[in-house]
Structure 1
Amino acid sequence: MKRTRTFAVTTALLASSAPLGIVTVGAGTAHAANRTYFVSPEGSDSNPGTSAGAPFRTLQKAADSAGPGDTVSIMNGTYSERSAGSNVLTIKRSGRPGAPITFTAHPGHQPVIHPVQAWNGIGVYGASYISIKNLEIRGNNAALNLAGAERGSKKGDPTYNTNCISIERDRSTGASSHHIEVTGNKVHACAGGGISAIESDHVTISANHVYSNSWYTVYATSGISVLTPRDVGSSDTRTYKIRITGNRVHDNETKIKWERCRCYSDGNGIIIDTLKGDAGHPAYGGRVLVAGNLSYDNGGSGIHSYKSQHVDIVHNTAYLNGRSTRMKSYANIFAHDSTDVRLLNNIAYGRPGQATNSKSRNVDVTYDYNVYFGGKAPEVKGPHDIVADPKFADAGTTADTAFRLRDGSPAIGSGTPFTAVTTGTRRTGGAPDRGAYGFGTGDMTQGASDSELDDSGSSGRQDEAQPREEQPGETGTGASPGTSGTTASPSANGLSAGKGDGGSSLDADGGNGPLAQTGGSDPLVPLGMAAAVLALGGGLVLVARRKRS
């Protein structure tokens, strides 16, 4: 398994709630908060851009005009790069806590961001407090083909390497992107990666439809990838700072050899990549939640942790991944060379002969309460793991397959409670169902709730857990997690630590150690605090556009 090098495009979403007022933007520049800038292909960049009747023409003009608390409202039309090798949209200006800059579709409109010879459809470079939501980013795969990519795909040429959305560090200043949310977008047909976050922190990627990406690039990309994140502010292994929740990810596959090894690699649905650190990249100290996702029919794995730590992969459904015939098949849902990873309440339906999971080089990795079917026997099996047909009511590889459970499924009511994930999987008065869907629910789990431990570190009643909003820079509270590599007694909910590849003293609900707390990456703060922050002013981080080699 190779490390993912995704020079991928990033979209970001933050729910916006900002007070009125004047914010300082750079030296000597006053900016009125809460403006809406409108963009239309029929507009002009010489317009004021502040009304639907006089919109800007380009997304870049709006992005370069917007400040904290502002919204860029994108009207119907197709938006492509102005010159080959540029991005369609480069985001370098930052919002503020409680006042993100939001990029979204104009109400009732369906704009398309269409990179053709761009490096990224949307690139976020060293910016913070950015929200990207309800947009379609459609790459140029329809105009490309495999034979052409095999002849022409190379480093330094964006034609076959275009990413849809990429969140990255600013390479000229070293500033990391942080507090970025990418939510509710359709991200597809990019020759490179779908959504990637590289050397970034406090990132939420939720409720996106990500498909048919990574086909033609020489970089080893995937549908959704988190690569070598960097801590911004404080870190605590009990606090979720990165969340990948409620996404539908399919048909992502690498069909061209990775330039680094001249071999085929990756093309995963979702990968959490190199959080343990390596040469040039420090270890990441926060926790990552991967929950409620559907990942199916991808070339590589459905979901996996590679060389990573402090990751929870829970309540996901993976179906017939590892489809690539160009490389050794990856398992559906697994961890490799990882530490402090929990894989719970998942459904993994494999292809014949496909690996089911992995115990390779793992320490303190727990597999339990999963349903496995198809493929090889699991390398490691928790005491409550089941090898049985999950009995989907409607499994398949189409864009709208629901993967609901039918009556009699072994996944119904047999999971272990996990406070951070409730939507669509929790059954009142009983144990939760396994997988991304709950039996009898009509919708996929659209992410994880902010339900968690209270401030004392106690989980309390499962249905009464309340969210705890963490302020920027604050660490999580609660009891200290247990020591990695030790074997703990079974918790009250029946999850035995010390099973699988080594013990974990963290259990799902915090009965034997605190659940990783949510709230650490939430961009919103109470309105009064946001007003205070805005009153102090401050300059936006200006970020130089990332250069490609």
Structure 2
Amino acid sequence: MRLLPVAVMAALLPGFAPAAPAYALAGTTYYVDSKSGNDDAAGTSATAPWKSLDKVNAADLKPGDAVSFKRGSSFTGSLKLEANGTAARPIVVQAYGTGPLARISGMDDDCVVLSGNHWRVSGLRASRCRWAGFQVAGDSNELAGVQADGNIAGVYVTPSGSRNVIRDSVLTDNNRMSVNDEGGDNDSGAFGVLLNGDDNLVTGNTITGSFAKSADYGTDGAAVEIFDGDRNRVTHNTSRNNETFTELGAQKGKTATGNVFAFNVVTSSRSRGSFLITRGPRHVVGPVKGTVAVQNSVYLPAKDTIGWSCHDGCAPSILKLRNNVIVVGGEAGWEDGKGADEGGSVYQGRVNKFKLGPKSIVADPKFVSRTDLRLRPGSPALGRGLPLSSKWYGGAALGKDMVGKPLAGAPDAGAYQH
């Protein structure tokens, strides 16, 4: 499993400590193979693997241990990751062998329930689970290179889940709705990632097909939805054909404060869609305070689309936007009240219902294509951006474009630098 570099992890996760040398970390590695395993076997070699999730759930895992799932395996039930690793000696879940990732499914429970701390989980696919493919309730965990499909939420970070990383994963067609009855304004679902916790990082993922029919809303869904979560960073993700990229809300007494969206690339061929939806104090799930959207590239060509909406008491304290490139077939942006704090961006839409900020213009940004949102020569987005400090991006380690180029001088608007 490829871990983030130590310097990056230290910058992104408060309390992260560099690991000791690999030879000092070695614990016990357990192997699981649904086809040829045996729960009476030792489980400590690929030639004598366990067979079931129940055997893993009952294991007394210690810091530094690893659980290796045979590729091509298939399980029904729930994998319970309850033990605690440490920052220096995380517990690892990984794949071995060849073929597709091991698949866990089943409608009786969430497929992977991570309630412990300091896990590094990769090499699993969670498909058609009760509610969430991966439920993350612990602290300082990492999901990397996982897959989730056919769930209500591909990854669900609970209110207790904090300082977790979800990266380099593929979340596809998590397109089921819960509740889904008429009235009550309470349908919920079709989330690639749902964040209820604080200080999590969602980066480098490909999220597609997050939408479902809803009795309350017609259709609904989001690549990344944040409700009550504070200070989450959502960066460098590729979003395709989702109902919306992100929608934010908070119950009364909460604020979903200080969430950052940077360097995301958002496209869709759907007839309806949006990039960012947030709320002021007059909304039933507002106010959502201190949202920052910077250096994102968006192309939603259908008529029933909106770039960003800041409503029911918008103000600079609610939403700040910098250096984005947003092209939609509908409304490029919408604000009421005092309006958002906006600048350094390029917009193109049928209508614009907001006041342009410093250096922002309405123009064709000259994307390479409908799906390739790099900029062609002569684009008005080149050099359009306002110089920004690293806090706008969620930290210096995240201040690079979609392909890793650092920002320098007056940056280009959008997710790509040239």
Tell me whether the two structures share a fold, i.e. TM-score over 0.5: yes
Deviations 1:460-498 (A, max 9, x none): xxxxxxxxxxxxxxxxxxxxxxxxxxxxxxxxxxxxxxx
1:242: which partner in 2? 200
Equivalent AA in structure 1 for residue 134 of structure 2: I
1:186 and 2:165 correspond: no
1:296 and 2:244 correspond: no
1:533: which partner in 2? none
Do the aligned partners of residues 19 and 57 (structure 1) sit closer, same or farther apart at CA in structure 2, a change above 3 Å counting? farther
2:125: which partner in 1? 136
1:48 and 2:17 correspond: no
For the Cα contact (< 8 Å) 1:251–1:297, is it kept in 2?
Answer: yes
What's the secondary structure of 1:61's corresponding residue? helix
Query: In 2, Cα distance between the equivalents of 1:221 and 1:91?
Result: 24
For the Cα contact (< 8 Å) 1:426–1:432, is it kept in 2?
Answer: no
What's the secondary structure of 1:393's corresponding residue? coil
Query: In 2, Cα distance between the equivalents of 1:369 and 1:289?
Result: 17
1:340: which partner in 2? 290
2:168: which partner in 1? 207
For the Cα contact (< 8 Å) 1:225–1:273, is it kept in 2?
Answer: no
* Structure 1, unpaired ranges of 5+: 1-13, 23-31, 82-86, 140-157, 169-176, 231-240, 276-283, 397-401, 440-549
1:164: which partner in 2? 133
1:73 and 2:48 correspond: no
1:113: which partner in 2? 103
2:284: which partner in 1? none
Do the aligned partners of residues 266 and 306 (structure 1) sit closer, same or farther apart at CA in structure 2, a change above 3 Å counting? farther
Query: In 2, Cα distance between the equivalents of 1:227 and 1:108?
Result: 33
Shift of 1:73: 1.0
Q: What pairs up with 1:29-428 in 2 under 5 angstroms? A: 34-41=27-34, 42-65=36-59, 66-81=61-76, 87-106=77-96, 108-125=98-115, 127-139=116-128, 161-168=130-137, 177-190=138-151, 192-199=152-159, 200-215=161-176, 217-218=178-179, 220-229=188-197, 241-257=199-215, 266-275=220-229, 284=230, 287-299=231-243, 301-307=244-250, 308-320=256-268, 323=271, 331-336=274-279, 337-350=287-300, 351-360=302-311, 361-363=313-315, 364=317, 365-374=319-328, 375-380=330-335, 382-387=342-347, 388-396=363-371, 403-415=373-385, 416-417=387-388, 418=390, 419=396, 420-422=398-400, 424-427=403-406
For the Cα contact (< 8 Å) 1:315–1:434, is it kept in 2?
Answer: no
Do the aligned partners of residues 319 and 54 (structure 1) sit closer, same or farther apart at CA in structure 2, a change above 3 Å counting? same
What's the secondary structure of 1:44's corresponding residue? coil
Query: In 2, Cα distance between the equivalents of 1:78 and 1:410?
Result: 51
Deviations 1:178-212 (A, max 9, x none): 1121111222233x211110111111111111111
Equivalent AA in structure 2 for residue 252 of structure 1: S
Deviations 1:83-128 (A, max 9, x none): xxxx331211221222111111115453331313342221123x11
1:536: which partner in 2? none
* Structure 2, unpaired ranges of 5+: 1-15, 180-186, 251-255, 280-286, 348-362, 391-395
Equivalent AA in structure 2 for residue 223 of structure 1: F
For the Cα contact (< 8 Å) 1:189–1:212, is it kept in 2?
Answer: yes
Shift of 1:16: 9.7
Do the aligned partners of residues 109 and 437 (structure 1) sit closer, same or farther apart at CA in structure 2, a change above 3 Å counting? farther
For the Cα contact (< 8 Å) 1:297–1:323, is it kept in 2?
Answer: no
For the Cα contact (< 8 Å) 2:234–2:260, is it kept in 1?
Answer: yes
For the Cα contact (< 8 Å) 2:299–2:370, is it kept in 1?
Answer: no
Shift of 1:40: 0.7
Do the aligned partners of residues 111 and 290 (structure 1) sit closer, same or farther apart at CA in structure 2, a change above 3 Å counting? closer
Equivalent AA in structure 2 for residue 293 of structure 1: N
Do the aligned partners of residues 209 and 391 (structure 1) sit closer, same or farther apart at CA in structure 2, a change above 3 Å counting? farther
| Paired residues, number | 347
Shift of 1:20: 8.2
Name the stretch that deviates more: 385-394 or 201-210. 385-394
Do the aligned partners of residues 248 and 391 (structure 1) sit closer, same or farther apart at CA in structure 2, a change above 3 Å counting? farther
Query: In 2, Cα distance between the equivalents of 1:18 and 1:45?
Result: 32
TM-score normalised to structure 2 length? 0.73
For the Cα contact (< 8 Å) 1:112–1:138, is it kept in 2?
Answer: no
Query: In 2, Cα distance between the equivalents of 1:392 and 1:45?
Result: 55
Do the aligned partners of residues 216 and 273 (structure 1) sit closer, same or farther apart at CA in structure 2, a change above 3 Å counting? closer
Equivalent AA in structure 2 for residue 371 of structure 1: V
Query: In 2, Cα distance between the equivalents of 1:291 and 1:97?
Result: 23
Equivalent AA in structure 1 for residue 399 of structure 2: V
What's the secondary structure of 2:266's corresponding residue? strand
Do the aligned partners of residues 341 and 428 (structure 1) sit closer, same or farther apart at CA in structure 2, a change above 3 Å counting? closer
For the Cα contact (< 8 Å) 2:175–2:209, is it kept in 1?
Answer: no
Query: In 2, Cα distance between the equivalents of 1:291 and 1:54?
Result: 41
Deviations 1:247-276 (A, max 9, x none): 11111112244xxxx55564111112123x
Higher share in strand: 2
Deviations 1:15-53 (A, max 9, x none): 99456899xxxxxxxxx9621111112111111111111
Do the aligned partners of residues 110 and 436 (structure 1) sit closer, same or farther apart at CA in structure 2, a change above 3 Å counting? farther
Shift of 1:355: 2.2
Do the aligned partners of residues 105 and 121 (structure 1) sit closer, same or farther apart at CA in structure 2, a change above 3 Å counting? same
Do the aligned partners of residues 54 and 309 (structure 1) sit closer, same or farther apart at CA in structure 2, a change above 3 Å counting? same
Query: In 2, Cα distance between the equivalents of 1:391 and 1:228?
Result: 37
Name the stretch that deviates more: 424-433 or 39-48. 424-433
Q: CA RMSD in A?
A: 3.0
Shift of 1:437: 4.2
What's the secondary structure of 1:202's corresponding residue? coil
Query: In 1, Cα distance between the equivalents of 2:158 and 2:147?
Result: 20
